[in-house]
Amino acid sequence: MKLCEKGKDPIVDLLFDGLRANVLRIPRPLEPLSVIARNGKRAVFRGSLNPLLDSPVEVSASLSDCPSISSRRSSQISLEIGVKLLEGMLAGFGCNAAGLAARLAGSQAVSFSFENVVRSAFDVNELGLALAGKELRSDNPAFELFVGPAPWEALLVDACLASNAFSLHVERTHGAGLELSAAELQDLLGASAKLAVSVSSSRSVTFRADTALTFAFSCIRMGIGTNRVVSLRPAETGIVLEPLGIGARPAPEHTILADRETLSLEDG
C-alpha cells in the first residue's frame, strides 16, 4: 500500500532513497540477521540466520537514533487509505482499529509519523568477516530451500528501523472539525490493549507501547556455494550514501523488494 498515490512521500523518500529500506505493512518484531527467502515477487520470512550455521555469528549491531525520521509527517492521504494503514499498524501491536475508524469518520485527510525511531544495523564488512569459514548446516531441512533444484534467493536483513510509538494526524475534516479524546480512544482499543493513547491536540493522537516493533528494514543478497555463504551482494543500483545524519558509516547498497510500496512478509 502506498503512503501517497502521486508524487513522493517524505518518510518513504527517506527510507527508500536514504537507507534503501523496505516498509512493512504491519509492524513486527523483525530483527537484523533474519533470513528472507524470495522467489519472484513472493518474499517469505524464514527466521534467524544462526540456526543455518555450524556456529553462531559473533558480531554486534550498532544502534543509532533517527531524528530525520522521528516525528516527520507523511504526506496527507485519504481517510480510506489512512484507516487501512492504521489497521495494519495497530494489528502489529495486537490491537483492533475498527472502533477507531468509526470515530474518524468526519476526517477528509490524515497523515502519520513515527516516534522514537531507532536503527539497528550491522556493518556488512564485519558481517562478511564473521561469516568467513562458517559452514551451513546441510542437515537443517530449512537449508534445502536455498540449494534445491529450484532454489529461492536468500536475503539477509542487515538493518531494521523500529519504533514503539506512532501518531495519527487529522489534516482536514468535514464541517466544524473533529475533537479526539484520549480516554474515549483508549476505551475503543479495549482494556487489554498494550498501547497507551495520548492526545497532543484535538487532531493528533499518539499510540505508544512498551516494546518497539520494526516498521522498515534493509537486506542484502547472500550468495550460497557449497555449504557456505560465498558472497554478500548489493543491489544493482549505485552506492547509496547515508544522508540522514544517523551514523558515521555510509549506508550500503540494498535490495529493494517493492517499488515504493510496503511489503507484507509471509511466515514460512
66 by Cβ neighbours in 10 Å (0-12 / 13-18 / 19+) ranks as buried
pLDDT the model gives residue 82:
85
Q: For residue range 125-183, what is the model confidence (pLDDT) as tens digits?
A: 999 999 998 999 989 999 999 988 899 989 899 999 999 999 988 888 876 556 777 88
pLDDT the model gives residue 68:
83
pLDDT the model gives residue 248:
39
Residues ≥6 apart with Cβ < 8 Å to 221: 153, 154, 155, 156, 231, 232, 233, 234, 235, 255
Q: Are 56 and 239 in contact (CB under 8 A)?
A: no
Encode burial over 93-104: b for 16+ CB neighbours within 10 A, e otherwise.
bebebeebbebb
36 versus 246: which is more confidently predicted?
36
Cα gap 90→109, rounded to integer Å: 19
Percent of the chain with pLDDT over 90: 26
Cα gap 217→43, rounded to integer Å: 13
Q: For residue range 197-245, what is the model confidence (pLDDT) as tens digits?
A: 888 877 888 999 998 999 888 889 999 988 889 988 865 322 222 222 3
How large is the greatest C-alpha to C-alpha distance in the chain, in angstroms?
A: 67
Domain range summary for the chain, segments of one domain joined by +: 10-267
Cα gap 86→130, rounded to integer Å: 39
Q: Is the pLDDT of residue 261 over 60?
A: no
49 versus 170: which is more confidently predicted?
49
Q: Is the pTM of this model over 0.75?
A: yes
228 by Cβ neighbours in 10 Å (0-12 / 13-18 / 19+) ranks as middle
Cα gap 171→165, rounded to integer Å: 19
